[in-house]
């Protein structure tokens, strides 16, 4: 399912500024504006999927690409000691922007369980 316009669509189109750290045909990665760790980067598909629960079998390759993009961006950011990957899905998941995004959090030791 595709969605309506979000702030991330505007970042993809360069209509609002963002600290973009990686881009290819399918994905974009940029620094989170309210970082929750020393390094906090968001990886998003350029195709606006609203949330993980709305992904379809047609998105199979894209989903794999997003995870491999996380790996690539984390390496590029120097997170050799590890990092956390988070997808907030829907209201109870704490999702606030209705455009699928993968959080990369690193640069400090992460606690478990998350809040």
Do the beta carbons of residue 3 and residue 12 sit within 8 Å?
Answer: no
Q: Is 96 in the site for ligand AMP (CB under 6 A)?
A: yes
Cα of first residue to Cα of last residue in the chain, in angstroms, is 29
Site for ligand AMP in 44-63 (CB under 6 A): none
**Active-site residue set:** 101
Do the beta carbons of residue 47 and residue 2 sit within 8 Å?
Answer: yes
Q: Is 88 in the site for ligand AMP (CB under 6 A)?
A: yes
Using CB under 6 A, which of 1, 23, 24, 33 touches ligand AMP?
33
Using CB under 6 A, which of 20, 62, 63, 97 touches ligand AMP?
97
Beta bridge partners of 103: 42, 86
């Amino acid at each position: 399912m595709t969605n309506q316009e979000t702030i991330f669509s505007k970042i993809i189109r360069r209509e609002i500024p963002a600290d973009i750290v990686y881009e290819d045909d399918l994905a974009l990665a940029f620094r989170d504006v309210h970082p929750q760790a020393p390094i906090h980067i968001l990886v998003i598909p350029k195709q606006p999927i609203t949330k993980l629960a709305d992904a379809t079998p047609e998105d199979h390759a894209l989903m794999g690409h997003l995870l491999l993009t996380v790996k690539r961006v984390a390496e590029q950011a120097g997170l050799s000691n590890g990092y956390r990957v988070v997808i907030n899905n829907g209201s109870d998941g704490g999702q606030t922007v209705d455009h699928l995004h993968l959080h990369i959090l690193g640069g400090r030791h992460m606690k478990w369980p998350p809040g």
